[in-house]
């Protein structure tokens, strides 16, 4: 899969920068960590940092830049019998399962993000970008247009809301709850039209 040495080194460096950023911010707080600090702990030059992340915040949040596109592809690949809502729900559940697999990374990420308001904003922006990509995929699958019909953006946005809600409850439960279970609950409520 990751064949060449070059690519392996790149992903290793990216991960090293992300983990360095995450741990430093967990220890000291966002504004007591500089890009130079992060670069130093990851053993690269400060200039190199910006070859991997566009900003300090991005390095801390450290999301896979290919994530949204992969989700969109997964959505497109769902069986044609499924309704758009069923398909979105299915990939949300898959994503949740994958997130919950690593008992360290996502909990630490969420802990650090919830503690630093600027990062909450960054994560929201990342979700919004993901929504945008997913909306395009939904439009293609359903033969609608993002600009004209409500469904694509609405469904993508609701999916994002369901995931954010579930992540928050997962965090609030100290990661003892089942993330896929929380995702299911959220989608049940959505499918029922959000009963009060």
Question: Contact residues for a second copy (CB under 8 A)?
Answer: 83-85, 120-122, 124-125, 127-129, 131, 142, 146-148, 150-151, 153-158, 160-162, 164-166, 168-169, 172, 182, 185-186, 189-196
Q: Please pick, from the candidates 1, 47, 150, 192, the single residue that binds DNA as defined by CB under 7 A.
A: 47
Quick one: what does residue 50 bind among DNA, a second copy, none, with the CB cut-off 5 to 8 Å set by partner type?
A: DNA
Euclidean distance between CA atoms 117 and 136, whole angstroms = 29
How far apart (Å, rounded) are the C-alpha atoms in residues 117 and 105? Answer: 19
Identify which of residues 39 and 99 has a Cβ nearer to a second copy in the complex. Answer: 99
CB of 85 to a second copy, least distance (A): 5
Specify whether the CB–CB gap between 89 and 187 falls below 8 A.
Answer: yes
Taking the complex as a whole, the smallest distance from the CB of residue 2 to DNA amounts, in Å, to 10
3-state secondary structure the chain: CCCCHHHHHHHHHHHHHHHHHHHHHHHHCHHHCCHHHHHHHCCCCHHHHHHHCCCHHHHHHCCCCCHHHHHHHHHHCCCCCCCHHHHHHHHHHHHHHHHHHCCCHHHHHHHHHHHCHHHHHHHHHHHHHHHHHHHHHHHHHHCCCCCCCCHHHHHHHHHHHHHHHHHHHHHHCCCCCCHHHHHHHHHHHHHCCCCC
Q: Tell me how far, at minimum, the Cβ of 32 lies from DNA, in Å.
A: 9
Q: How many CB atoms lie within 10 A of CB 27?
A: 10
Site string for DNA, 53-72 (x = CB under 7 A): -xxxx---------------
Residue 190 interaction partner, one of a second copy, DNA, none, beta carbon < 5-8 Å per kind: a second copy
Question: How many residues at the interface with DNA, by CB under 7 A?
Answer: 22
Binders of DNA among 136-175, rule CB under 7 A?
Answer: none
Rounded to the nearest whole angstrom, what is the least distance from the CB of residue 30 to a second copy in the complex?
Answer: 15
CB of 69 vs a second copy, minimal distance in Å: 16
35 binds DNA (CB under 7 A): yes
Site for DNA, rule CB under 7 A? 4-7, 9-10, 13, 33-36, 44-48, 50-51, 54-57
């Amino acid at each position: 899969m990751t064949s060449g040495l070059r690519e392996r080194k790149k992903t290793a460096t990216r991960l090293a920068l992300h983990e360095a950023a995450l741990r430093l911010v967990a220890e000291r707080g966002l504004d007591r960590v500089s890009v130079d600090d992060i670069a130093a702990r990851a053993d690269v030059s400060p200039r190199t940092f910006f070859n991997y992340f566009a900003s300090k915040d991005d390095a801390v949040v450290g999301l896979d830049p290919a994530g949204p596109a992969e989700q969109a592809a997964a959505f497109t690949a769902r069986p044609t019998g499924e309704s758009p809502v069923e398909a979105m729900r299915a990939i949300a559940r898959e994503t949740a399962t994958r997130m919950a697999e690593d008992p360290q990374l996502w909990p630490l990420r969420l802990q650090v993000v919830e503690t630093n308001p600027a990062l909450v904003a960054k994560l929201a922006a990342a979700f919004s970008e993901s929504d945008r990509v997913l909306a395009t995929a939904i439009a293609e699958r359903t033969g609608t247009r993002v600009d004209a019909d409500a469904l694509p953006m609405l469904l993508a946005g609701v999916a994002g809301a369901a995931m954010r809600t579930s992540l928050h409850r997962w965090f609030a439960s100290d990661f003892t709850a089942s993330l896929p279970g929380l995702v299911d609950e959220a989608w049940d409520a959505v499918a029922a039209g959000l009963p009060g």
